[in-house]
Amino acid sequence: MKKFTKLFIVALAFIAAVSLTSCKEKEAGTIKIGVAGPHSGDLASYGIPTVRAAELVVEKINAAGGINGSMIELLVEDDVCKPEIAANTAAKMVGDGVVAVIGHICSGATKAAMGTYMDSEIPAISPSATNPPLTQSGDYPNFFRTIAPDDAQALVEVEFAYAQGYKKIAVLHDKGDYGKGFAEFCKILLESDTKAEIVLYEGITPGAVDYTAIINKIASSGADAIIFGGYHPEASKLITQMKKKDMNLAFLSDDGVKDDTFIKVASKYAEGVYATGPIDTTSNPLAIAAVEAHQAKYGEAPGAFFLNAYSAALALVNAIDVADSVEYADITNALRSNYVDTPLGSISFDEKGDAIGVGFAIYQVQNGVYVELK
Amino acid sequence: MEFNFFFQYLLSGLTRGSIYALIALGYTMVYGIVKLINFAHGEIYMIGAFTALIVSGVLGMYGIDPVVTFMIAITAAVVYSAAYGVTLEKIAYAPLRKAPRLSALISAIGMSMFLQNYVLLAQTSDFLPFPDLLPEFKFLEPIKSILSTNQFLILVTTAVVMVLLTFLIKFTRTGKAMRATAQDREMAQLVGININRVISITFVIGSATAAIGGVLISSQIGQINFYIGFIVGIKAFVAAVLGGIGSIPGAVLGSFVLGITESFGTGYISSDYEDAFAFIILIVILIFKPSGLLGRKTTEKV
Give the pairing of strands A345-349 and A340-342. Answer: antiparallel
Tell me how far CA of residue B288 lies from CA of B253, B261, B266, B283, B295, in angstroms. 16, 18, 25, 9, 12
Q: Quote the pLDDT of residue B274.
A: 85
Q: In the structure, what pLDDT confidence band is assigned to residue A103 with cuts at 50, 70 and 90?
A: confident
Distance CA A204, CA A230 (A): 10
B149: closest chain A residue by CA: A244
| Boundaries of every domain in chain B | 2-288
If DSSP codes are grouped into helix, strand and coil, which group holds residue A262?
helix
Write down the mean pLDDT value for chain A.
88
Residue A70 has pLDDT above 60, yes or no: yes
Helices B101-122, B41-61: crossing angle, 10 deg rounding: 30
Residue B221 has pLDDT above 90, yes or no: no
Distance CA B237, CA B85 (A): 17
Q: Residue B297 — φ and ψ, nearest 5°?
A: -75, 125
Q: Quote the pLDDT of residue A27.
A: 44
Q: Does A164 touch chain B (CB under 8 A)?
A: no
Interface of B with A (CB under 8 A): 5, 8-9, 11-13, 15-16, 19-20, 126-129, 144-145, 148, 150-151, 217, 220-223, 225, 227-228, 230-232, 235, 262-263, 266-267, 270-272, 274-275
Residue A26 has pLDDT above 50, yes or no: no
DSSP symbols for B278-300: HHHHHHHHHHH-TT-SSPPP---
Contact residues, chain A, for B16 at CB < 8 Å = 209-210, 212-213
Check CB contact under 8 Å for B271 and A240: no
Any idea what the Cα angle at residue A319 is, between residues A315 and A322, rounded to 5°? 135
- Domains parsed from chain A with CATH numbers: 30-147+284-356 (3.40.50.2300), 152-272 (3.40.50.2300)
Which residues 188-217 in chain A show a CB within 8 A of chain B?
202-205, 207-214, 216-217
pLDDT digits (tens, 9 = 90+) for A147-182: 988 888 899 999 999 999 999 999 999 998 889 989
Q: Residue A73 — φ and ψ, nearest 5°?
A: -120, 135
Q: A189-203, B190-204, B286-300: which has the minimum mean pLDDT? A: B286-300
Q: Which of B12, B129, B267 sits opposite A210 (nearest CB)?
A: B12
If DSSP codes are grouped into helix, strand and coil, which group holds residue A80?
coil
B176-201: average pLDDT: 92
Tell me how far CA of residue B234 lies from CA of A251, A335, B192, in angstroms. 31, 57, 36
What end-to-end distance do the CA atoms of chain A give, in Å? 72
Could you tell me which residues come within 8 angstroms of residue A330 by beta carbon, excluding any fewer than 6 positions away?
Answer: A323, A324
Distance CA B8, CA A278 (A): 39
The whole-angstrom distance between A245's CA and the closest CA on chain B is 5
Q: In the structure, what pLDDT confidence band is assigned to residue A22 with cuts at 50, 70 and 90?
A: very low
* Alpha-helix residue ranges (DSSP H) falling in A120-176: 133-136, 152-164
If DSSP codes are grouped into helix, strand and coil, which group holds residue A208?
coil
Q: Does A177 touch chain B (CB under 8 A)?
A: no
Q: Does A370 touch chain B (CB under 8 A)?
A: no
Q: Does A243 touch chain B (CB under 8 A)?
A: no
Q: Does A260 touch chain B (CB under 8 A)?
A: no
* Alpha-helix residue ranges (DSSP H) falling in B123-194: 149-171, 173-183, 185-190
pLDDT above 90 as % of chain B: 59
Is B2-288 a domain of CATH 3.40.190?
no
